[in-house]
Structure 1
């Protein structure tokens, strides 16, 4: 079985980390992660794609994992992610690619396919449906994680009470429940998870350690800005 390799590309003045594997006889597949994720989320799919004859490429989104941090968080935009995707294809001399997006990764995948249809072989999206029309998030409960994390400083204070590994653990437990919980007015999102709650069976302690190490490197400042605090004006 081929081994996943790692490289860095200078894209739009940022050093972006990519993981890649496969010869690409049948084309290239770009895998775009969501939150709280990194390239590592695609490790099994990457190996399966390589075995099937594709080259799998999973970047760490700017501000995530081992990729560089944008200098001005408040100016983060979805256009940045679309431009980064174009830069990756150009730098790797990929004329056309299949795009796979999960969670917020679907937005740059969808927008790229609209802006650059000549560079796309197909688009696969997971978790979030395509939404071409702007919609308000005002209907969400105020104690839901999305509006809570949109509040400047609130999530930082909430997360700051714990080590990074505990934060990532709590988010995954929260996200994999049958129903997403809503916090009371005097309750924080991290408090919704009981410390004794077990990890879901598909997430091992080694996996958790891998995620935690990369979020310790990147921090949560950009991941909270993109996608959560960039949602109101552009969803």
Structure 2
């Protein structure tokens, strides 16, 4: 008796990679995949460090340096700085004598859609867990090459992308998405752009994103 497809996978940012990998390895169990902020890209070692300056945040967040950078602040301040940095449309890159956390002026306000109550809740969670897992996946696992025989996603998929998402500034990403090359890897892909959307579209526009996801689920149940 074969397996019955029974799950939708919904993922944000670095969750896109494991979601798409699950769909590749177990297509018979997946009804569809929804990702926000990150498209399906060919699996394999990351090459972004070859095209971006040494201060590129992913290069800086390898073992030791990130712990030292984050360790200067409490968890709430680290979360605050990350939301400020990554809701912008530019890739966070530090100068030679800076760390990533130094890129945020302490007087900079939070994005208007991220409240002090949100910050307190997230800060409390990271106070307990620390940032090790958040740094490991994906920043410290990009070098893994899974050697997939076929990286094609054979189930329906939806990509929700903010037009102001800094990820589109990564070398090759905007062309990969907007030229349609991504559909070579995900043939049954629908792409929806939110004009004012940043990297945090799900928190910035939760009602709109929820409706898009529900509509996708309704089409593929």
TM class by shorter-chain length?
0.5 to 0.7
Hey, which of these two has a bigger chunk of strand by percent? 1
CA gap of 1:180–1:132, structure 2 versus 1, over 3 A, is closer
Distance in 2, Cα, partners of 1:234 & 1:146: 18
Deviation of residue 133 (structure 1)?
A: 4.2
Distance in 2, Cα, partners of 1:170 & 1:234: 31
Given that 1:113 and 1:120 are in contact with CA atoms closer than 8 Å, whether structure 2 keeps it comes out as yes
Given that 2:55 and 2:96 are in contact with CA atoms closer than 8 Å, whether structure 1 keeps it comes out as yes
Q: CA RMSD in A?
A: 1.7
Residue of structure 2 equivalent to 1:141:
53
Specify which of 8, 13, 27 is matched with residue 103 of structure 1. 13
Residue of structure 2 equivalent to 1:126:
36
CA gap of 1:233–1:140, structure 2 versus 1, over 3 A, is farther
Given that 1:136 and 1:232 are in contact with CA atoms closer than 8 Å, whether structure 2 keeps it comes out as no
Deviation of residue 222 (structure 1)?
A: 2.2
Residue of structure 1 equivalent to 2:26:
116
CA gap of 1:116–1:165, structure 2 versus 1, over 3 A, is same
Q: Is 1:170 equivalent to 2:81 in the alignment?
A: yes
Distance in 1, Cα, partners of 2:134 & 2:43: 24
TM-score, normalising length: structure 1: 0.57
CA gap of 1:225–1:184, structure 2 versus 1, over 3 A, is same
Q: Is 1:192 equivalent to 2:103 in the alignment?
A: yes
Deviation of residue 206 (structure 1)?
A: 0.3
Unaligned runs of 5+ in 1: 1-93
Residue of structure 1 equivalent to 2:191:
none
Deviation track 1:152-194 (CA, whole Å, cap 9, x = no partner) reads: 2101111111111000000110000121231111100000000
Distance in 2, Cα, partners of 1:172 & 1:234: 30
Given that 1:140 and 1:147 are in contact with CA atoms closer than 8 Å, whether structure 2 keeps it comes out as no
Distance in 2, Cα, partners of 1:224 & 1:113: 24
Deviation of residue 95 (structure 1)?
A: 5.4
Q: Is 1:208 equivalent to 2:104 in the alignment?
A: no
Q: Is 1:182 equivalent to 2:96 in the alignment?
A: no
Look up the SS of the partner of 2:33 in the other structure. strand
Look up the SS of the partner of 2:59 in the other structure. helix
Distance in 2, Cα, partners of 1:211 & 1:192: 21
Deviation of residue 98 (structure 1)?
A: 1.0
TM-score, normalising length: structure 2: 0.60
Distance in 2, Cα, partners of 1:193 & 1:180: 13
